Amino acid sequence: MTLADGLLLFLMIWALVFMVALAIPFPTQGESGDVVPGTPSSAPARVNLARRARFTTAVAAVLFLCTWAVIELDLTHGPMTGDVTVPATEPSGG
């Protein structure tokens, strides 16, 4: 795996994990009891995207290392395409 391949793989994993992390609900202003005038009580009370980005980076790093190990150390099981022998066939006369 080249450096560009590794960077692209990490960014794809990071984006996927970040989208999942964004689905985790923020605490609402109604739940915290501190509703700002002019906003609905369902508005987020504390939006801390930096914390979610750090969490995403940590999870993505672990998933990337696992993926890298499977690819680079060939940790797959079973016959691979290179291991399969295809019998030679005779062209049919016709």
pLDDT at residue 67, rounded to an integer: 94
pTM over the 0.75 mark: no
Q: Is the pLDDT of residue 3 over 90?
A: yes
d(CA 15, CA 11): 6
Question: Are 53 and 15 in contact, with CB atoms under 8 Å apart?
Answer: no
Q: Is the pLDDT of residue 78 over 70?
A: no
Half-sphere exposure of 31 (CA within 13 A, CB side): 9
More confident: 45 or 58? 58
**pLDDT digits over 51-65, tens only?**
999 999 999 999 999
Which structure tokens are listed for 32? 């915290």
